[in-house]
Structure 1
Amino acid sequence: MMDMIREDVGLIDMTTVGLGIGSYKAKISFSTKEPIVLCGVEFVDEMCRKLGLETHIFKACGDKLEAGELILEAYGRADAAHKAWKVSQNILEFLSGIATKTHTMITLARTMNPKIELLTTRKIFPRTKELALKAVYAGGGAHHRLGLYDSVLVFKQHCAFFESDAAFEVQFAKMKQMYLEKKIVVEVDSLDEARYFARLGADIVQCEKMSFEALKQCVALKNEFPYLLLSATGGIGEHNIVDYAATGVDFIVTSSPYHAKPSDIRVVIERV
């Protein structure tokens, strides 16, 4: 958190120093201008306290707020309040935006399939993963994969290194044995590919940019492979998530929440 403060403040807050107001007693307060799912308040609280401000938190991460509700107040020196101002506002706005969009999307999907899950990808701006993941969970979603280290996901880019299907199938079987405790996920873009990998023993078939009819046909593979899970991914947002959920897939994989419009957070700083 303090790295963010240092990036914004640098060596000196020229305006506060120039006006000679740094030592005055101040209160800074954060509230929402619109309905949101809140995220980031813990980070703001930590930042304010490290700057020497005393905080009072009114709402928690994941709370659903109406316009005008107070989120947090902090008290202390004016120079500390001004240092906390914009970075704190940015955190609340961007993370609450992601959380709110996640909640909106999963709510829409569950009107069609109450058991469907919304999982987000690792397709995110570098070095923001921790913050974004916090926001996704606040909105009721979860993660698809954090990185290369936490899951097995086979793409065409992997299959290209095998000289034949037979050679691939041998190594696929070895991989399943090696990672007994892991689910093996394979991305496909056709029903034939989905059936092929289901027969090989894939646990999850990730259907990339398929038509709704093709997705329904892939879901029907559960009749032959009851253990199989299916996901839909590629170009899914609020405008079409209901249609994807209606196909019967078990979960949606998307990066859409990361591109959410920031929430509108009101910040007031006053002398006390």
Structure 2
Amino acid sequence: MRSRLEAWLLEDLGSYDLTTEVLGIGGLRGVAQLFAREEAVVAGSEEAAEVYRLAGCGEVEVVKRSGQLARRGNVVLRAVGEARCLHAAWRTAQEVVAWASGVATKTRRLVELARRVNPRVVVAATRKTPPGLRALYHKAVLAGGGMVHRCCLSDGVLVFRNHLVFLGDGALQKAARAVAVRPAGVEVSTVEEAVEAAKAGFSYIQLERMTPEEVAEAAARIRAVNPRVVVGASGGIDEHNIASYAPHVDVVVTSAPYRAPPIDLGTEMAPL
């Protein structure tokens, strides 16, 4: 993550901070405070602190850690150093926290809505993150109380329709036999496929783009075949409908947190 933070810092800095150097204030010491302009679940504040350190600030305090609630006006991070270091870091650091906290805050909202109707349900975010932001966004999901469904392709076996099309007739049974050496999941889109997958021996069955009524029926029929199967629902699930899916499944899989807008933050500086 450090190398990525360095790249983001250099992207914003360019060759040098022309404004700070022209004004002749680069060597003056000061303090920068990152604060919330709206209530949010904080995420990425530790990474933002590292941005300030990379820019040369020797004193950096994380006031609100990832997972903590910041109310309007609360300070999230404080850094002390030369003005050239503060100005080099502040925009990158602020945006890291703004975007990550947006993801964390939306995740917390989804978890709250889902657990009102099913206290044991898990809200799991997909790997559909913007390229280059997966580590930060997955950390933000955890800060918001969610889980990561799969962090990458090597993180577990999950068979999609785009795998099954290459297996021909009896694809579900062939897939189940092929991956029998370890727990495996499969995504299906009909109640009949869900029952077939349960009989084939999959330990996790993900119900893709079904209505809540279809999910309820599929989950009941899966559990009648094997009550130990973990059942998930995915596809188009967001704040407006998560409460309709959560009562019927063990896991709600969603990409909705990644579509969250950034949190409104500000940074104020003062000389020392």
Band of TM-score, shorter chain? over 0.9
Rounded Cα–Cα distance in structure 1 between residues aligned with 2:207 and 2:160:
11
Paired residue for 2:238? 237
Paired residue for 2:213? 213
**1:28 Cα deviation (Å)?**
0.5
Contact 2:52–2:90 (CA<8 Å) still a contact in 1? no
Rounded Cα–Cα distance in structure 1 between residues aligned with 2:172 and 2:54:
54
**1:146 Cα deviation (Å)?**
1.3
Give the 5 Å matches for 1:1-272: 1-53=5-57, 54-165=59-170, 169-170=173-174, 172-177=176-181, 179=182, 183-221=183-221, 222-246=223-247, 248-272=248-272
Size of the aligned set, in residue pairs, is: 266
Counterpart code for 1:46: E
Counterpart code for 1:230: V
**1:163 Cα deviation (Å)?**
3.3
Counterpart code for 2:236: G
**1:174 Cα deviation (Å)?**
3.5
Counterpart code for 2:12: D
**1:168 Cα deviation (Å)?**
5.7
**1:106 Cα deviation (Å)?**
0.4
Deviations 1:114-163 (A, max 9, x none): 00011111111111111101100000011111121111111121111223
Rounded Cα–Cα distance in structure 2 between residues aligned with 1:108 and 1:64:
18
Q: What is the CA RMSD across the aligned residues, in angstroms?
A: 1.3
Counterpart code for 1:252: V
Structure 1, unaligned runs of 5 or more: none
Structure 2, unaligned runs of 5 or more: none
Deviates more, 1:2-11 or 1:188-197: 2-11
User: Cα 1:65–1:5, aligned 2, differ >3 Å: closer, same or farther?
Assistant: same
Which runs of at least 4 in structure 1 moved beyond 6 Å after TM superposition? none
Rounded Cα–Cα distance in structure 1 between residues aligned with 2:240 and 2:173:
39
Contact 2:33–2:79 (CA<8 Å) still a contact in 1? yes
SS in 1 for 2:60: strand
User: Cα 1:44–1:168, aligned 2, differ >3 Å: closer, same or farther?
Assistant: closer
Deviations 1:4-27 (A, max 9, x none): 111111111111111111111111
SS in 1 for 2:180: helix
**1:170 Cα deviation (Å)?**
4.3
Rounded Cα–Cα distance in structure 2 between residues aligned with 1:169 and 1:91:
45
Rounded Cα–Cα distance in structure 2 between residues aligned with 1:216 and 1:257:
24
Rounded Cα–Cα distance in structure 2 between residues aligned with 1:209 and 1:220:
17
Deviations 1:143-202 (A, max 9, x none): 11112111111112111122321x76245314213x2xxx21111111000000100001
Deviations 1:55-99 (A, max 9, x none): 122221110121111111111100100011100110110000000
